[in-house]
């Protein structure tokens, strides 16, 4: 699944591995879902060295983003309803212009749906495990104005930068972010959350369109 948001492009794939992580062995607690995220070297400016090529196994930003993606998707899937498999979600950024983590979540959800359909066809699913769609968007304050889906230029000058993950009914899954320059008011926070919830609802419609559901 190629997810695009503005100039940002992320290839999202899901692989089903017939094994759960060691800490789940013999627990009969269903399956697991985990995510990996990486930016291709030429996805942004300047060139970003490939993970593992700089002496450090993974840069901190990639690690933080892949944990966010994993948490968001584990909210979408009832893991106890899966057989003993691990769903590996891979998000590889082909082009980065802000919002790569939110675009990853939006695309990964569609890829998960596809993978679950495949598992259903293979008669691997005792019951449909998807609780609902999940979508994400960035929102911030740029030049004093609340703004959705920040591109790189907006992101790098934003006074506040949040990533908001929502369930399809608008309830919040995760809000990640901070004031980049000075503190912001609760009222501004609520304005940003309201904008993000509206955008997430629109993204869910696009996911439904992509899936034909
Ligand atoms: N970026 C980049 N190289 C990096 C890190 C970030 O080019 O190593 C750019 C890229 O456009 C990215 C943006 O900075 O989308 C904002 O990065 P951030 O860490 O806020 O994550 P994102 O908004 O992509 O989720």
- The CATH number of residue 173's host domain is 3.30.230.70
DSSP-based helix, strand, coil % in the chain, nearest 5: 35, 30, 35
Identify the DSSP state of 89. Answer: E
How many CB atoms are closer than 10 A to CB 191? Answer: 15
Bridge-based pairing of strands 86-95 and 32-39 is: parallel
Residue 112 scores a pLDDT above 90: yes
Q: Rounded distance, CA 4 to CA 207, Å? A: 12
Residue 28 has pLDDT above 90, yes or no: no
Domain count, the chain: 1
- Mean pLDDT across 65-71: 98
| Cα gap 128→39, rounded to integer Å | 32
Tell me which residue has its CA closest to atom 6 in ligand 1.
44
- The confidence score (pLDDT) of residue 49 equals 86
Q: Is the per-residue pLDDT at 56 higher than 80?
A: no
Residues in Cβ contact with 23 at an 8 Å cutoff, skipping those fewer than 6 apart: none
CA dist., res. 182 & res. 154, Å (int): 16
Q: Is 100 in the pocket of ligand 1 (CB under 6 A)?
A: yes
State the average pLDDT for the chain.
Answer: 95
> What percent of the chain is predicted at pLDDT more than 70?
99
- pLDDT, one tens digit per residue, over 115-144 is 999 999 999 999 999 999 999 999 999 999
Question: Contact, 43 vs 93, CB < 8 A?
Answer: yes
Query: Minimal CA–CA distance to 117: which of 108, 129, 106, 105?
Result: 129
Nearest residue by C-alpha to atom 5 in ligand 1: 44
Global confidence as pTM: 0.97
Q: How far apart are the C-alpha atoms of 187 and 148, rounded to whole Å?
A: 16
Q: Band of the pLDDT at 53, cuts 50, 70, 90?
A: confident
- Cβ 10 under 6 angstroms from ligand 1: no
Looking from the CA of 169 toward its CB, the CA atoms found within 13 Å total 5
Question: Which one has a higher pLDDT value, 48 or 71?
Answer: 71
**Which structural domain range is residue 7 located in?**
2-211
pLDDT at 24: 85
- Token digits of residue 109: 């959800």
Confidence of residue 54 (pLDDT cuts 50, 70, 90): low
CA of 86 to the centre of ligand 1 (A): 28
- How many Å apart are CA 18 and CA 188, to the nearest integer? 46
Q: What pLDDT does residue 67 have?
A: 97
Residue with tokens 């104005």: 145
9 lines ligand 1 (CB under 6 A): no
């Amino acid at each position: 699944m190629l997810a695009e948001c503005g100039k940002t492009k992320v290839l999202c794939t899901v692989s089903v591995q017939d094994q759960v992580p060691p800490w789940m062995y013999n627990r009969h607690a269903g399956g697991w879902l985990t995510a990996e995220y990486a930016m291709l070297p030429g996805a942004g400016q300047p060139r970003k060295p490939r993970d593992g090529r700089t002496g450090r196994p993974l840069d901190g930003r990639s690690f933080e983003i892949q944990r966010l993606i994993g948490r968001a998707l584990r909210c979408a899937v009832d893991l106890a309803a899966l057989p003993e498999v691990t769903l590996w979600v891979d998000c590889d950024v082909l082009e980065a212009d802000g919002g790569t983590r939110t675009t990853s979540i939006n695309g990964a959800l569609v890829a998960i749906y596809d993978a679950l359909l495949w598992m259903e066809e293979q008669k691997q699913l005792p019951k449909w495990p998807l609780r609902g769609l999940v979508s994400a968007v960035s929102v911030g304050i740029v030049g004093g104005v609340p703004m959705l889906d920040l591109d790189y230029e907006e992101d790098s000058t934003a006074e506040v930068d949040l990533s908001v993950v929502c369930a399809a009914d608008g309830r919040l899954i995760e809000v990640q972010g901070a004031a980049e320059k000075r503190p912001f008011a609760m009222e501004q926070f609520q304005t940003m959350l309201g904008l993000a919830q509206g955008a997430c609802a629109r993204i869910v419609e696009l996911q439904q369109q992509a899936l034909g559901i």
